[in-house]
Structure 1
Amino acid sequence: MVSTSTLRVLEPAPNVIAFYDGRIAEKRIVSPEWNWLDDAAYCLGIASYAVVCGTEALVYDTHISIDHARFVRNELERRGVTTVRVALSHHHKDHVAGTEVFADCEIIAARKTAEMLAQKEDSYRKSNPSISPLIKPTTVFDGDLTLSIGSIDVELRPLDVHSRDGVALLLPKSRVLLAGDALEDSATYVAEPGRLEIHMAELDRLSTWDFAAILPCHGDINRIAEGGYSSV
């Protein structure tokens, strides 16, 4: 089991819940030896999110472990949620490790994400810690996708920043952007340097979107708790 003792629940925007863990000096939750969870996720600090309206919720990423995902689902159910859907921001381990907990839910992903997960399934199973089983998306889309979570409109928008299969989540009424890993601490991390020109062009496209606050997956807990990073 992976400890969730340091996982904190935040409410950074109306109808948005953040489940934040990590970025605690000298704290590890898996082992003293190098592993992707401690050294490439927990040390950065990471949040998954849920957009909640009444009995419906859309979970944006399934967190860094089965135990974290179970915490998320239990908290949503405690709050009265009975219908859960999942949207994946991209295929990296720290965003899909908890998919097993949502195996009975609709799991939504961009086509590129579904393709990357199919390619990575074996290596993820062999990783430390292992991600097995990796539950595949049940709904795959191209281009933009608009959903309704209760009375809240949600826009899933492909964004080729950080990872070629990135998907940002925009709440157009509240002008809140859940940025995944496209923006971290309001900066941007280049995971695919060979595609830097595309990365930069996509950042230019992102700058034309209408949003006022940025909630990244990797960021400072206090900034996230206070409503995120400004768009300017």
Structure 2
Amino acid sequence: MPPALGDTLRVLRPAPHIRAFYDGRVPGVRLHSAAPNWLDDGAYEAGIASYAVINAGSALIYDTNISLAHARLIRRTLEAEGVRHMIVVLSHWHDDHVAGTAAFADCEILASRRTAEILAEKRADLESGDPPIKPLILPTRTYEGECGLAVGALQVRLIQVDVHSCDATVVRLPDGILLAGDTLEDPVTYVDEPGRLAAHLVDLARMADWDITRILPNHGAEETIASGGYGKEFIYATMAYIKKLIEISGEVKVNCEDLRSFAAAAFATGAVTYFAPYEAVHRQNVAAVRRAAGWRDAD
């Protein structure tokens, strides 16, 4: 019998003022169903974290995790630490980041304008998915480009970037920590918009110019997140992988290399670590960019 939703959730402390709510990467365990579904295959197997930035009784909650049960646990944990004011920031519209919005229905939910538009467009699909996200609570406030936000006495900056998805929001903290959402993923990015890889590279290069000391992604290795996060090399590793995907998108025929071989340049940075379940992600990425380029490769 699978564990109940939230039973395997771990609370990590990558920095004194940050809590990471991490679940997944538990060998042999599925939470929702033996059949393919977004919760088990798209989030739990890969490992997923959502975050809270805490200051003076206030908290910024960056994404609401993979179920309502998870989100309720997050809220109870923060309340037990004395948090009384909460604001939710959504990194982007994907289901494993918005599944717990109903637990914060009485809070302000902030997202990029594009995230709000996509969630409104896809609300019926998300609420009837497997598992369903019902009710999905839509953002109550939006921004475009950049937005400053106070968390207690802490001033943070929300920045919209076109990486992984066109609506992504990352959060820069004044101490150099970056909450990266799905713009960076260990070991490799999941390609959701294969026609936009060149645009993703532009914004990754922009991120690399920022004064960043540590990076906290939503999908990554638990031990790295717990120890404070990734260095800026994480960005360069992601760029190396995307550049290789762009290269093969222009080739008439490609050999299907395994992840270790294909992403050798990314692994050489030392920023990311091989994780076998990402072999399937890599195969999907290659197929997606090849289809977007108009090739009809054999499965």
| TM range, smaller chain | over 0.9
Alpha-carbon shift at residue 2 of structure 1 (Å): 4.7
SS in 1 for 2:165: coil
Matched letter for residue 105 of structure 2: A
- Please name the residue that 1:177 is paired with: 178
- Please name the residue that 2:229 is paired with: 228
Distance (whole Å) between structure 1 residues aligned to residue 181 and residue 201 of structure 2: 17
Matched letter for residue 7 of structure 1: L
Distance (whole Å) between structure 2 residues aligned to residue 125 and residue 46 of structure 1: 21
Deviates more, 1:201-210 or 1:84-93: 201-210
Is residue 117 of structure 2 the alignment partner of residue 115 of structure 1? yes
Q: Which runs of 5+ in 1 are unaligned?
A: none
Change (3 A) 1:99 1:198: same
Deviates more, 1:58-67 or 1:181-190: 181-190
Matched letter for residue 198 of structure 2: E
- Please name the residue that 2:50 is paired with: 48
Is residue 201 of structure 2 the alignment partner of residue 200 of structure 1? yes
* Contact 2:5-2:67 within 8 A present in 1 as well: no
**Max radius of gyration: which structure?**
2
Is residue 73 of structure 2 the alignment partner of residue 68 of structure 1? no
Choose which of 128, 131, 134 in structure 1 pairs with 2:130.
128
SS in 2 for 1:104: coil
Alpha-carbon shift at residue 24 of structure 1 (Å): 1.0
Alpha-carbon shift at residue 14 of structure 1 (Å): 2.6
**CA deviation map 1:69-99 (0-9, x unaligned):** 0000000000000101000000000000000
SS in 1 for 2:35: coil
Deviates more, 1:202-211 or 1:184-193: 184-193
% same residue: 52
TM-score (norm 1): 0.97
Choose which of 79, 90, 114 in structure 1 pairs with 2:81.
79
SS in 2 for 1:217: strand
* Contact 1:91-1:113 within 8 A present in 2 as well: yes
Distance (whole Å) between structure 2 residues aligned to residue 2 and residue 115 of structure 1: 33
SS in 1 for 2:59: strand
- Please name the residue that 2:147 is paired with: 145
- Please name the residue that 1:98 is paired with: 100
**CA deviation map 1:31-72 (0-9, x unaligned):** 212111011110000000000012100100010000000000
* Contact 1:100-1:134 within 8 A present in 2 as well: yes
Distance (whole Å) between structure 2 residues aligned to residue 33 and residue 142 of structure 1: 38
* Contact 2:126-2:133 within 8 A present in 1 as well: yes
**CA deviation map 1:136-182 (0-9, x unaligned):** 1011111101111111111100011000000001102x100000000
* Contact 1:58-1:149 within 8 A present in 2 as well: yes
Q: Which runs of 5+ in 2 are unaligned?
A: 234-299
* Contact 1:182-1:189 within 8 A present in 2 as well: no
Change (3 A) 1:2 1:164: farther
Alpha-carbon shift at residue 187 of structure 1 (Å): 4.3
Is residue 34 of structure 2 the alignment partner of residue 32 of structure 1? yes
Matched letter for residue 61 of structure 2: V
- Please name the residue that 2:14 is paired with: 12
* Contact 1:85-1:107 within 8 A present in 2 as well: yes
Distance (whole Å) between structure 2 residues aligned to residue 124 and residue 79 of structure 1: 32
- Please name the residue that 2:288 is paired with: none
More relative contact order in 1 or in 2 (CA 8 Å, sep 6+)? 1
Deviates more, 1:202-211 or 1:89-98: 202-211
Query: Of Structure 1 and Structure 2, which has the larger fraction of its residues in helix?
Result: 2
* Contact 1:2-1:65 within 8 A present in 2 as well: no
Distance (whole Å) between structure 2 residues aligned to residue 59 and residue 75 of structure 1: 12
**CA deviation map 1:87-122 (0-9, x unaligned):** 000000000000000000000000000001001101
* Contact 1:89-1:109 within 8 A present in 2 as well: yes
Matched letter for residue 95 of structure 2: K
Matched letter for residue 205 of structure 1: R
TM-score (norm 2): 0.75
Distance (whole Å) between structure 1 residues aligned to residue 57 and residue 198 of structure 2: 43
